[in-house]
Every structure is written in C-alpha cells, then in structure tokens.
C-alpha cells in the first residue's frame, strides 16, 4: 500500500392483506448442474478458499524475495520473478494472460492481466492487487497477502469450472508503492469503449495484517468517512462484502476511498470499486480492539514497509476470512444463478445471521422490540405469544420474555422494525418469498396497530400488511407467500415492522422460517 498518498481510516386477515410489488424482470441465466448453492444469495456457492493454499503462495513470494536481495520492488529482479510465478500458475489452468510493460523512474515495470474464458465481454468484473513490495522488505502482508488471496480465488474459478454471466478478469499491478503507477498506466491506456465494459473493480491490499481490523471501502459514504461515496455501483460492492462478513459474525467498518491503493485510477474514471483492508501503520484504538480483538495502541501492521514484513507478519484468521470474502464477492457479483427449483435464501433464526433491529434509527416503540429469541408463552384470555416456533427453538419475536403481567413485554409506544442482511437475488426465474407469521392482540387494539413485511431494493414492495382490530386475536402461526420476481437481479433486504400505533394496547407479533425460492 502506497504511503505517499493521503491517508484516512479513520382488521385484516391474510386473505385481505395487501400484496404489492413493482413491475419488472431480469434476463435469463442458469448455473451448471450439480454445484452447491449458497442459500444466502441464490447463486452458486463460492468454495472455501484454503488458507494453506494462500499461505503456499506467500511462501513462494518470500523465497523469491530472499533470493533477490530481500525485496520484490519495482525494477528489481524479485518483482519480475513474482510476475512469472503468478503467470505460470494461471497459464496452467487455462487463463489467457498478458504482461503489460511500462517505464517509471528509469526502470521497466509490469502489470499481469489474466482473463477467464467466457462471460459477457461487455460486462467485466475485475479483481486486482498490487504485486510489488517496497525496497525495504519482501512485502508479504503489503501486498503479498492480497496478491496471494486473489490468485487462489482465480485458481478456484478454474478448479470449479465457473461459468458466470460476467466476464472475469484478474490483475496484479506493478509499482503501486511508487504512486499507483501500474494501475494508472493500465487505466490510462484503456480505450474508452474498454473502460465502459468494466462494470466493477475489486481491490485487495493488505488483507492479513497481524493486528487486524476489518475495513470495507465505503462505497455509499454510509459511514460518513472521507470525501464521499465512490462511483454509482460501489455501494452494491460494499454491501456484498458486508453480507459475507455478517454471515460469519464479523463486524466491519468503512474506510474511505482516499486514493491510497489501486482502486484510485478506476474510480477517477467512474468505474465502481470496492474491497477490503486490514490496516497499515495506523494505530488500533481501544474501541477497535474491543470490536475485533488485538492490541489497542499498536499499529495494525507494525512491520508496515519494513524488512520484518515476512511470512511471520501475517494474521492467519484475517487472511483466511478475507480470502473467503474475495471468493464470495467474485462469485456473487459475477452472477452465476442457482438452477431453477432451488432455495435462494432461507433463515430459521436458529443462529444469528445479521438481522438488524431498528435499522433506520427511527423506531419509536418503548418496549417489545424485535429480537431473535427462544420465546416464552404468554396469554391473557387468549394466547398472545407462542412459546413454540415453526421449526427449532428460535424465531423473530416482539419482546420474547413473559414477565409477571400479560402486557409486560408486548409492543408499546409505536413501531419496532427489524431488517435482514442484504440478499442478492438471481436475475431470472420466478422468485417466491414465503414465511410464517402471527399477529396477536386484545380488544384494546385498533386498526392503527399492524404487522407489515416489505421487500426493499431499488423500490419497495409490501408483501404482508395485517391490521389490528378492537377484538381478541389469538396468536396462531400462519403462512404467507408472495411473488417477488420484480426484484430479480437486485440486492434486497426484508423489513418487518410491528406497531402499537393507536392508544395503549396489547400487541405481539412473530416471524419464522423465511425462505425465497426460484422456479
């Protein structure tokens, strides 16, 4: 990672329920048979990237540096040897590779670009990392880590015979440490028509820092860092990466597009970009250490740009997670849909999968907020909260405790909401959202009280809208189903709201076994 540039981290029933979805549908597409499907995104599942394989590439980079004056820097023999090593790996499995040369500081530099056959040539997903080190050391974290991770993902593409809708291109850049010289040369020499074909660029620079943080480039400026969002489309990349880390229970924080790595030339010409970063010479704060572990008051990488940036300077957990994040992001954004008849997304709530309570920060309920929990049974003449779920022991429920009185943990004071993680829907097929639900209330309820389920993507569709009434309504599981094919090809979230919106009344609600299928 280039230090010379600016730094910044710093009364209705279901039959009468409203079902509304926007119009539209996507193009056809299908994946090869017999391949695992990722239920969280509705696409062919990315393989697990073996840490041992990534580590083996790092060992090769270390050996190359050791044999060539201790570094792999621009203009030095260790850099060209690194290019030759990566190229040989890719040529052996069927990539079309090309080495692009350029001059800087009186020395010849090289970019290695590798294309996987197939996919739409007018819709290129590009993944890159810089391959050079500084002259002071072998550059194993900076940036052998990113180079090795994307190399192993590229090899996994070949091993699995991936046939995505988009065309896949991988690149290893030269002279990044001298000011993004290689990637800038590549972008500057792309004809305008070729630039327009690149729909997104993924950048991975320093993904194994020993005192690691988990940073994701802030594509939509939602974290409020730096000067603003990236080009249109960057937010989708950010959300895809966040969805992966959310699925493994690892919190992330945004880091700005500060021009410090090889995404810089791409975003300057309007190409959407994103990626991950585990930290450089910046100091980990006490709050970051609480969030991620590690040592507060120490650099994320104490060997940044030093001779000690060797294979010992790697956090294996961070490297493993980030390599898998690279694969997940490539497989998801490349667009290889699950075959028809498959489950696109499912959640039984038996484990935490990244649903967020009060996602917009606008909830007004003072009690009975949504929770993923093992609910206690409650009643007041009729059952108001069920102690049994549709499957397993957990569901999404408003105020899961029983309390000493019937109204102790019901919804009070307004609206409580909960939102799913981002779900990437396939671009074709009939998509159906199914779930189980109940709304319970007593005679002090009114039509202002409700349970509502929406799908939110490029537009919003309400798939369930059940109002209360001034009558007893016992809790009883029911099922709902809605065609959401209008959202095909989009990244969406499911939002569930429950409200005690009239006068004080006893209102309880629950949702379980959410599933999206493609047929």
Q: Which residues are catalytic?
A: 176
Q: Which residues, at least 6 apart from 354, have a Cβ–Cβ distance to it below 8 Å? A: 243, 246, 247, 420, 421
Structure tokens at 223: 């974290």
Which of 22, 114, 493, 124 has the alpha carbon at shortest distance from 335?
Answer: 124
What sign has the CA pseudo-torsion 218, 304, 290, 226? Answer: negative
Rounded CA-CA distance 260/180 in Å is 8
Q: Which residues, at least 6 apart from 193, have a Cβ–Cβ distance to it below 8 Å? A: none
What sign has the CA pseudo-torsion 395, 401, 407, 410? Answer: negative
Q: What is the 3-state secondary structure (H, E, C) of 288-327?
A: HHHHHCCCCCCECCCCCCCCCCCCCCCCHHHHHHHHHHHH
Which of 435, 437, 412 has the alpha carbon at shortest distance from 499?
Answer: 412
Q: Dihedral of the CA atoms 143, 144, 150, 156 (nearest 10)?
A: -170
Rounded CA-CA distance 410/235 in Å is 36
Q: What string of DSSP letters covers 202-231?
A: EEE-----TT---EEE-TT-TT--TT---S
> Which residue is it, tokens 């109002």?
467
508 in helix, strand or coil?
strand
125 in helix, strand or coil?
strand
Q: First vs last Cα of the chain: how many Å apart? A: 45
Which of 216, 218, 244 has the alpha carbon at shortest distance from 230?
Answer: 218
Contact between 29 and 427 under an 8 Å Cβ cutoff? The reply is yes
Phi, psi of 141 (to 5 degrees): -80, -40
Q: Which residues, at least 6 apart from 48, have a Cβ–Cβ distance to it below 8 Å? A: 324, 327
Contact between 304 and 142 under an 8 Å Cβ cutoff? The reply is yes
């Amino acid at each position: 990672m280039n230090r010379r540039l600016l730094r910044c981290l710093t009364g209705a029933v279901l039959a009468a329920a409203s079902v509304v979805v926007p119009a539209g549908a996507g193009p056809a597409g299908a994946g090869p048979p017999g391949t695992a499907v990722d239920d969280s995104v509705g696409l062919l599942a990315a393989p697990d990237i073996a840490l041992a394989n990534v580590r083996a590439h790092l060992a090769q980079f270390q050996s190359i540096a050791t044999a060539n004056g201790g570094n792999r820097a621009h203009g030095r023999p260790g850099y060209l040897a690194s290019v030759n090593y990566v190229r040989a790996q890719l040529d052996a499995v069927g990539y079309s590779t090309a080495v692009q040369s350029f001059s800087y500081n009186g020395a010849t530099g090289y970019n290695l670009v590798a294309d996987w056959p197939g996919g739409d040539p007018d819709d290129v997903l590009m993944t890159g990392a810089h391959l050079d080190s500084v002259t002071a050391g072998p550059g194993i974290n900076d940036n052998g880590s990113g180079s090795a991770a994307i190399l192993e993902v590229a090899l996994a593409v070949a091993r699995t015979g991936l046939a995505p809708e988009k065309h896949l291109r991988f690149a290893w850049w030269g002279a990044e440490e001298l000011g993004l010289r290689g990637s800038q040369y590549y972008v500057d020499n792309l004809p305008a028509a070729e630039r327009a074909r690149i729909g997104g660029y993924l950048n991975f620079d320093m993904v194994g820092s020993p005192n690691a943080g988990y940073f994701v480039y802030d594509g939509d400026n939602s974290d409020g860092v730096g000067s603003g969002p990236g080009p249109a489309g960057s937010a989708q990349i950010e959300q895809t990466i966040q969805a992966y880390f959310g699925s493994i229970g690892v919190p992330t924080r945004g880091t700005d597009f500060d021009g410090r790595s090889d995404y810089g030339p791409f975003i300057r010409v309007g190409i959407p970009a994103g990626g991950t970063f585990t930290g450089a010479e910046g100091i980990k704060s006490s709050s970051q250490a609480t969030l991620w572990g590690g040592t507060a008051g120490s650099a994320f990488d104490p060997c940044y740009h030093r001779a000690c940036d060797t294979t010992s300077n790697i956090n294996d957990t961070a490297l493993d997670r980030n390599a898998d994040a690279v694969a997940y992001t490539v497989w998801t954004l490349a667009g290889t849909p699950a075959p028809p008849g498959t489950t696109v997304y499912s959640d039984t709530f038996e484990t935490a999968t990244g649903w967020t309570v009060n996602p917009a920060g606008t909830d007004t309920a003072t009690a009975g907020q949504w929770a993923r929990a093992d609910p206690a049974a409650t009643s007041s003449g009729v059952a108001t909260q069920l102690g049994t779920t549709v499957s397993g022991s957990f569901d999404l429920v408003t105020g899961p405790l029983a309390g000493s009185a019937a109204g102790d943990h019901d919804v009070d004071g307004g609206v409580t909401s909960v939102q799913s993680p981002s779900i990437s829907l396939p671009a074709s097929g009939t998509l159906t959202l199914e779930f189980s639900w109940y709304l319970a209330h007593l005679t002090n309820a009114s039509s202002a009280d409700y349970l509502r389920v929406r799908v939110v993507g490029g537009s919003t569709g309400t798939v369930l809208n059940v109002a209360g009434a001034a009558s007893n309504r016992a809790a009883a599981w029911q099922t709902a189903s809605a065609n959401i094919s209008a959202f095909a090809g989009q990244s969406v979230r499911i939002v569930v709201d429950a409200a005690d919106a009239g006068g004080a009344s006893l209102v309880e609600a629950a949702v379980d076994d959410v599933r999206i299928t493609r047929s």
